[in-house]
Amino acid sequence: MIKSYMKIALRYIRKYKGYSFINIVGLAIGMAVCMLILLYVRNEWSFDGYHADADRIYRLERSYRRADGSVQPYFCTLAPSFLPILKKEIPGIEHATRLFGPGGTLVKVGENGFREDRLYYAEEDIFNVFTIPLVQGNPETALKDPAGIVLSRSMSRKYFGDKNPMGQEMEIDNRLVAQVTGVMQDPFPNSHIHMDFLVSYLSLKGLSGEGEDDYFLGTRNFSDNVTLAYVRLAENTAVESVREKIPGSLDRHIPAREDEEGNLRKASDVLFVHMRKVKEIHLFSHLTNEIEPNGNISYVILFTAVAVLILLIACINFLNLSTARASNRAKEVGLRKVVGADRKQLSRQFLGESMLICFIAALIAVGIVVSVLPSFRAFSGH
């Protein structure tokens, strides 16, 4: 019986070629557009989800209270001295890393030099916070040496060609001769931060100040927000329990100060350290000093609604065309009833025809998506 229904459906499509073409192509285009939009939406939601412990990784952000009582909008960066004391005093913080990305860093190998915007000075714990696969080198030791540098595969080809980069020297900003200690996979596209070079954070020691007054590695720089700070919480640690301990830690290390009215204000009254889940940065964080342009959850919601609307319009168009043709098949229905067909059999036949048309339209839609995907990637930037 099913075979008979399929034969009839195919004959009907061949007989009414114009109607079938309009119905199938209209539905296929609607499906294809919907698929492309949903691929974009899915990609937007996937940012930073590739990390092994993405749900436990947070970026620390900072705001402060102005003299008039208003709160300054968040910075996505912290002063260098914040993270070490928080990691030391809050047990829930399992791993932590600071990154400093000055931008436009001069990198030279021999006489060849380029300005690189995706170079970051990073602490060795970065490999325990983020999932950064190394194709060469040991993540446990790659950034322990102050002169260590890890570069991406593409940067390895750029600077060394087919030559093995391990152990080779690279000059950074005419002040540091670094040695390649690792090669990592190219940055994942769906990441809020893309790193082509990781230089040991220890190489910043003594760049400005010494001991406790060292700008990057000292214990007294709570003013200049120049480092990105990320933490990975221990398993089964509630983020609220970590947040609650931050103000007390700040008060123990930053002295209270008098305000303009002569009142003594604790550090936690004017300084605020916030925690944002790394998976939420791309869509929900729009701070003034973001490292890279982020997406917007409002656009994701809008595009999802547009995709649903386009598919709904395509379905309505399909239904209207099918209904318009129904009257032309009244004789066929009457004849089938005369020879013994019941309501269920007629329903199965017409539903089978509709499902066949939808299946053909879906195949065409997939073909359209595959053919236009390279152009769509270039257009969307993903």
Q: Do 40 and 60 share a domain, yes or no?
A: no
User: For the segment 22-54, what is each residue's pLDDT rounded down to a tens digit?
Assistant: 888 889 999 999 999 999 999 999 999 999 999
Q: Is the pLDDT of residue 152 over 70?
A: yes
Q: What is the DSSP letter of 257?
A: E
pLDDT at 322: 74
> Which pair of tokens denotes residue 361?
């339209």
Q: For 367, how many CA atoms within 13 A lie in the half-sphere containing its CB? A: 8
283 and 304 share one domain: no
Query: What does the pLDDT look like over 317-336, one tens digit per residue?
Result: 888 877 766 666 655 656 56
- The residue among 263, 292, 321 that closes a domain is 292
- Same domain membership, residue 312 and residue 176: no
Question: Residue 350: is its pLDDT beyond 80?
Answer: no
pLDDT for res 333: 58
Domain identity same for 133 and 253: yes
Instruction: Give me the pLDDT at residue 335, please.
Output: 56
Q: Is the pLDDT of residue 339 over 60?
A: no
pLDDT digits 0-9 by tens, 102-113: 889 999 998 889
Tell me the percentage of the chain whose pLDDT exceeds 90.
Answer: 68
Claim to verify: residue 164 and residue 215 sit in the same structural domain: yes
Residue 140: pLDDT band with limits 50, 70, 90 = very high
Same-domain check for residues 160 and 102: yes
Total of domains in the chain: 2
The pLDDT value recorded for residue 330 is 59
Identify the domain boundary among 292, 326, 350.
Answer: 292
Among 292, 313, 344, the domain boundary falls at 292
Give the model's confidence band at 12: pLDDT under 50 very low, under 70 low, under 90 confident, else very high. low
- Domain range enclosing 264: 54-292
Q: Looking at the structure, tell me whether residues 277 and 348 fall in a common domain.
A: no
pLDDT at residue 345 in the model? 63
Q: Tell me, what's the pLDDT at 358?
A: 85
* Whole-angstrom distance, CA of residue 371 vs CA of residue 310: 20
Do both 202 and 351 map to the same domain?
no
- Name the burial class of residue 139, with classes exposed (0-12), middle (13-18) and buried (19+) by CB atoms within 10 angstroms of its CB: middle
Same domain, yes or no: 188 and 328: no
Instruction: Read off the pTM.
Output: 0.86
Query: Residue 252 pLDDT > 70, yes or no?
Result: yes
Overall average pLDDT of the 6-28 stretch: 74
Q: What is the largest CA-CA distance in the chain?
A: 100
Q: 304 and 323 share a domain?
A: yes
117 and 222: one domain?
A: yes
**Contact between 228 and 77 (Cβ < 8 Å):** yes
Q: Express each pLDDT in 66-118 by its tens digit.
A: 877 788 888 999 999 999 999 999 999 999 999 999 889 999 998 889 999 99
Answer whether residue 11 shows pLDDT above 80: no
Region 236-241 average pLDDT: 94
Judge if 160 and 258 occupy the same domain.
yes
**Higher-confidence position of 338 and 238:** 238
pLDDT at residue 300 above 60? Answer: yes
pLDDT of residue 329: 61
How far apart are alpha carbons 71 and 62 in whole angstroms? 11
For residues 165-191, average pLDDT: 95
Contacts of 200 (CB under 8 A, 6+ apart): 121, 122, 124, 143, 144, 145, 146, 147, 148, 149, 178
C-alpha–C-alpha distance, residues 334 and 339, integer Å: 9
